């Protein structure tokens, strides 16, 4: 069977970077077939109109959420339409370089692992990154995630999570917001799935332009870590209420 990679791109108010991101994805040479599935999650800045033009040009498959439902909800919509046997998540903010995606395929195609994370911190980071509060927030949250889950990885909160479709079906992502990140890692740990990592490049945006996690969200992150590590079992996804207010999109 011919293998295919489904690249899932949630977009919320990224009119300045969305087209550049799609063009860069188009230029990447993958060793297998690929498709680009984009979900506009209630953008109000012109992103939707831009993406509709890219869809008309045949560059992407586009789905639109009429209201903002959260990054996790956008990923769930894209997953429902993906045809690949491997999937990967791709933010539209250009903090990560799509040219790094092919190396994440290697441990999956070779059978070494069914999951590979692109780590922003595996090979160290520059001083300009280390001086940012978000860097230290990431390091602390990652240490807590490793402790709770009994694993040792360097970047559980990375956007670049590549998984086989079979594994995605088993973990059944339910969170609509950024709690999707600890949900995925916690469920993988619960199943005993090995997470391979590969280093990726990272160019963080400033706080004013990026969608960053805030202190009030840390508790939700910690609750999700504990919930999905200790109170979830395969075959039971639990019940997650849809957000009652417009959710923040967070990318620590």
pLDDT in tens, 134-167: 889 889 999 999 999 999 999 999 999 999 999 9
50 to each of 26, 43, 176, 233, how far by Cα in Å?
A: 16, 11, 24, 41
All residues at 6 or more sequence positions from 214 whose CB lies less than 8 Å from its CB, including other chains: 248, 250
Domains delineated in the chain: 1-93 (3.90.550.10), 95-235 (no CATH)
Enter the pTM of the model. 0.89
Taking only the tens place, the pLDDT of each residue in 1-17 is 789 999 999 999 999 99
If phi > 0 it is left, if psi is from -120 to 50 it is alpha, else beta; for residue 117 that is beta
Q: How many H-runs (helices) and E-runs (strands) does the chain carry?
A: 9, 7
Contacts of 240 (CB under 8 A, 6+ apart): 174, 175, 176
């Amino acid at each position: 069977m011919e293998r295919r990679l489904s690249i899932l791109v949630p977009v919320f108010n990224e009119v300045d970077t969305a087209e550049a991101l799609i063009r860069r994805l188009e230029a990447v040479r993958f060793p297998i077939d690929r498709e680009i599935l984009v979900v506009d999650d209630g953008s109000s800045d012109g992103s939707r109109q831009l993406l509709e033009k890219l869809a008309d040009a045949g560059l992407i498959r586009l789905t639109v959420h009429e209201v903002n439902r959260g990054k996790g909800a956008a990923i769930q919509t894209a997953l429902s339409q993906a045809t690949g046997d491997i999937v990967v998540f791709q933010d539209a903010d250009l903090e990560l370089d799509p040219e790094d995606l092919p190396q994440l395929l290697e441990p999956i195609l070779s059978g070494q692992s069914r999951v590979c994370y692109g780590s922003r911190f595996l090979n160290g980071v520059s001083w300009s990154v280390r001086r940012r509060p978000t860097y230290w927030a990431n390091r602390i949250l990652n240490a807590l995630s490793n402790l709770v889950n009994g694993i040792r990885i360097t970047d559980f909160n990375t956007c670049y999570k590549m998984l086989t479709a079979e594994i995605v079906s088993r973990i059944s992502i339910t969170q609509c917001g950024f709690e999707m990140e600890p949900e995925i890692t916690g469920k993988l740990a619960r199943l005993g799935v090995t997470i391979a990592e590969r280093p990726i490049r990272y160019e963080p945006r400033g706080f004013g332009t990026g969608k960053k996690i805030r202190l009030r969200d840390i508790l939700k992150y910690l609750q999700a870590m504990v919930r999905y590590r200790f109170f979830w079992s395969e075959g039971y996804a639990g019940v997650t209420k849809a957000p009652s207010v417009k959710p923040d999109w967070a990318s620590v």
